[in-house]
């Protein structure tokens, strides 16, 4: 019994033999029952990029087992066709995720619904799969990815390929809506409270400052270990220095964890970006030959090879990197590995059968846990993304009550270079942190329902959006405004940068209109001034900032009367005119 079309089987065999190594995403042939996806991150373990086509369902039923061979042949061919069309545009980890989801769909249809092939699948089978997802209690993001795989069986089939005979998710039945109804709400990495986050950074910096002696003892122990047996080295070390080796290793791990905390928290790097820092670049940064820390980001790069990133760094980050170099140097000598973040030689050595010396995610978490056990509250578990969220939260929070100068001091910056690297990026909205996104949602929602009125040049745009919203609904309620705000943020790329005197309403297209721009591409927030902001089409002042502008007017009036130089008087008069302009708009708004 074989329901597989002859041309499908033949095509699969020919493709597998003809292109065993020609794919950027797969090692070996597609006919194999184990797929090994190609490495895209230096130092990752090959097991993380391996997928077996053995089903996870019960295969005791002989008919279902035969059908699975047919489904498996189809799924391999389908995935190969789709991914071959995306070569160079998709990371191999994403490719594995796609294949894994296609396999999940196919084996459910084969074993749970007993469909002989994909052409026999009906709408009721898709509904049953959705119920299966609901019973598993998966997250919203995972449910969405599974439904996208289902839709792919219809949407991505090419001419001559098999696939679903109907569209399971037409316009009136959107994937996002269905996924929300069958999944649990996504959790996210907790955000560190400002007090806890700053205290953790402070503790990490103190640990690094006092860590030179620990590293020196560690190097002495490794020298002894190289000359004699490990057990004897530990004994001699304790006799000579009065400390157990186990305690020394614990201190080294805590110190390594502290260095990671400083690098991640003061650079806002992603975990995988930091993992791609090379020893050569790190060493040249420490030796003063470079001024930026170079990593490689994949998540938003839009290419399988990633995008090189360069970040300005402060002395504290350089000190942390110098410490990491010293801690990992013994492993680097033994393995000749080019990455910065390696495991320590004391508990993992290439010579003891560990082929990959790179610091894995599990090992990185373990180092952070060691640091956490000493310096963090019992309910806090540090993870790399928490530091990005903390950095972003502090950025938004500080802008609400202060300025870039204070933010730079708060984050140990010696100047605006690093801060500007974030605010000047024309694609900054793509990296928008959740706190800033939520802030943007709430400001737009309040403005659209008239809860918070804005003056300034951007008020014209808000008025336009309010009219668009009112044309769609008779009564503008928060739920309508919220959906409209979501459209502005997610589709148009809007984000709001709060400052003490008002808000900058930005998007990838509006950045070119910024009055504070120094390059004609995007804003330069360090170049902000009340005069530039008042004339900027991206600037809006909420009603609770009226007193700020009244205080500015009084200050400029005093300065104008007491100043001796003509330049000071001219600047004060310009400030008076600007403040009066904003206050006149407030007055007109209040009268209306």
HEC string of 353-398? CCCCCECCHHHHHHHHHHHHHHHCCCCCCCCHHHHHHHHHHHHHHH
Confidence of residue 488 (pLDDT cuts 50, 70, 90): confident
Kindly provide the b/e burial profile for residues 43-60, where b requires at least 16 CB atoms within 10 angstroms of the residue's own CB: bbeeeebebebebeeeee
Provide the pLDDT for residue 109.
93
Confidence of residue 389 (pLDDT cuts 50, 70, 90): low
Asked whether the predicted pLDDT for residue 388 surpasses 80, the reply is no
Q: Are 495 and 428 in contact (CB under 8 A)?
A: yes
Instruction: Quote the CA–CA distance of 512 and 424 in Å, as a whole number.
Output: 11
Q: How many CB atoms lie within 10 A of CB 337?
A: 21
Q: Which of 61-70, 217-226, 327-336, 411-420 has the lowest mean pLDDT?
A: 411-420
Alpha-helical (H) ranges within 473-539 are: 478-486, 530-534
**Mean pLDDT of the 317-323 span:** 93
Provide the pLDDT for residue 126.
94
Confidence of residue 358 (pLDDT cuts 50, 70, 90): confident
Kindly provide the b/e burial profile for residues 352-362, where b requires at least 16 CB atoms within 10 angstroms of the residue's own CB: eeeebbbbbee
Asked whether the predicted pLDDT for residue 420 surpasses 50, the reply is no
**Mean pLDDT of the 275-295 span:** 87
Percent of the chain, pLDDT > 70? 78
Of 163, 131, 161, nearest to 146 by C-alpha is: 131
pLDDT in tens, 249-279: 999 999 999 999 999 888 878 788 888 888 9
Mean pLDDT of the chain: 79
Write the CB contacts of 513 (distance below 8 Å, at least 6 apart in sequence).
536, 537, 538
Asked whether the predicted pLDDT for residue 161 surpasses 70, the reply is yes
Confidence of residue 351 (pLDDT cuts 50, 70, 90): very low
Provide the pLDDT for residue 386.
80
Provide the pLDDT for residue 455.
87
What's the pTM? 0.51
**Mean pLDDT of the 12-26 span:** 54
**Mean pLDDT of the 101-105 span:** 95
Question: What six digits make up the tokens of 400?
Answer: 């609400």
Asked whether the predicted pLDDT for residue 409 surpasses 50, the reply is no
Provide the pLDDT for residue 59.
67
Instruction: Quote the CA–CA distance of 271 and 264 in Å, as a whole number.
Output: 8
**Mean pLDDT of the 270-293 span:** 87
Provide the pLDDT for residue 429.
43
> What is the biggest distance separating any 2 CA atoms in the chain, rounded to whole angstroms?
100
Strand 34-37 vs strand 539-542: parallel, antiparallel, or unpaired?
unpaired
Confidence of residue 368 (pLDDT cuts 50, 70, 90): very high
Provide the pLDDT for residue 41.
66
Q: Which of 73-82, 257-266, 407-416 has the lowest mean pLDDT?
A: 407-416
Write the CB contacts of 345 (distance below 8 Å, at least 6 apart in sequence).
222, 330, 331, 334
**Mean pLDDT of the 336-357 span:** 68
Provide the pLDDT for residue 497.
81
Percent of the chain, pLDDT > 90? 22
Task: Return contacts of 20-29, CB within 8 angstroms, 24+ apart.
Answer: 23/80, 23/83, 23/84, 23/87, 24/87, 24/88, 24/92, 24/304, 25/83, 25/87, 25/90, 25/92, 25/95, 25/304, 26/80, 26/83, 26/92, 26/95
């Amino acid at each position: 019994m074989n329901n597989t079309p002859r041309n499908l089987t033949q095509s699969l065999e020919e493709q597998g033999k003809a292109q065993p190594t020609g794919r950027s995403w797969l090692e070996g042939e597609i006919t194999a029952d184990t797929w090994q996806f190609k490495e895209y991150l230096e130092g990752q373990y090959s097991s993380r990029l391996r997928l077996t086509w053995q089903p996870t369902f019960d295969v005791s039923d002989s008919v279902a087992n035969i059908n699975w061979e047919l489904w498996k042949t189809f799924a391999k061919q389908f995935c190969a066709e789709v991914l071959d069309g995306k070569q160079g545009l998709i990371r191999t980890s994403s490719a594995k995720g796609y294949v894994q989801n296609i396999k999940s769909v196919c084996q459910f249809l084969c074993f749970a619904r007993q469909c002989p092939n994909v052409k026999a699948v009906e709408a009721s089978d898709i509904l049953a799969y959705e119920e299966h997802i609901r019973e598993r209690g998966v997250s919203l993001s995972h449910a969405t990815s599974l439904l996208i795989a289902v839709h792919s069986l219809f949407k991505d089939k090419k001419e001559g390929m098999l696939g679903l005979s109907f569209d399971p998710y037409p316009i009136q039945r959107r994937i996002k809506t269905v996924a929300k109804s069958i999944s649990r709400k996504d959790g996210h990495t907790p955000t560190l409270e400002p007090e806890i986050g700053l205290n953790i950074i402070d503790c990490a910096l103190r640990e690094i400052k006092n860590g030179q002696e620990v590293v020196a003892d560690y190097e002495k122990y490794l020298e002894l270990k190289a000359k004699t047996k490990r057990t004897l080295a530990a004994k001699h070390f304790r006799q000579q220095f009065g400390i157990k080796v186990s305690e020394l290793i614990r201190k080294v791990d805590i110190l390594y964890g502290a260095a990671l905390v400083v690098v991640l928290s003061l650079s806002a790097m992603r975990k995988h970006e930091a993992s791609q820092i090379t020893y050569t670049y790190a060493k040249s940064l420490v030796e003063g030959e470079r001024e930026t820390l170079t990593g490689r980001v994949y998540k938003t790069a839009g290419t399988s090879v990633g995008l090189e990133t360069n970040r300005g760094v402060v002395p504290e980050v350089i000190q942390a990197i110098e410490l990491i170099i010293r801690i990992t140097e013994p492993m680097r000598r033994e393995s000749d590995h080019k990455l910065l973040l390696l495991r320590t030689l004391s508990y993992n050595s290439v010579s003891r059968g560990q082929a990959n010396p790179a610091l894995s995610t599990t090992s990185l978490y373990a180092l952070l846990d060691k640091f956490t056990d000493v310096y963090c509250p019992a309910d806090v578990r540090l993870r790399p993304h928490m530091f990005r969220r903390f950095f972003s939260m502090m950025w938004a929070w500080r802008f609400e009550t202060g300025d870039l100068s204070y933010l730079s001091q708060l984050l140990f910056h010696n100047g605006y270079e690093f801060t500007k690297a974030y605010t000047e990026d024309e694609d900054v909205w793509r990296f928008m942190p959740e706190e800033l996104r939520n802030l943007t949602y709430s400001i737009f929602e309040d403005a659209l329902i008239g809860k918070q009125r804005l003056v300034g040049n951007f008020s014209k745009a808000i008025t336009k959006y309010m009219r668009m919203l009112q044309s769609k609904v008779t009564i503008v309620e928060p739920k309508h405004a919220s959906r409209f705000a979501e459209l502005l943020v997610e589709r148009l790329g809007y984000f709001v940068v709060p400052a003490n005197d008002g808000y900058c309403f930005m998007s990838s297209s509006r950045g070119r209109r910024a009055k504070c721009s120094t390059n004609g591409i995007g804003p330069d927030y360090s170049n902000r001034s009340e005069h530039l902001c008042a004339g900027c089409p991206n600037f809006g002042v909420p009603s609770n900032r009226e007193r700020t502008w009244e205080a500015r007017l009084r200050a400029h009036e005093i300065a104008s009367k007491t100043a001796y130089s003509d330049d000071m008087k001219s600047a004060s008069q310009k400030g008076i005119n600007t403040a009066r302009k904003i206050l006149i708009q407030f007055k007109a708004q209040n009268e209306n």
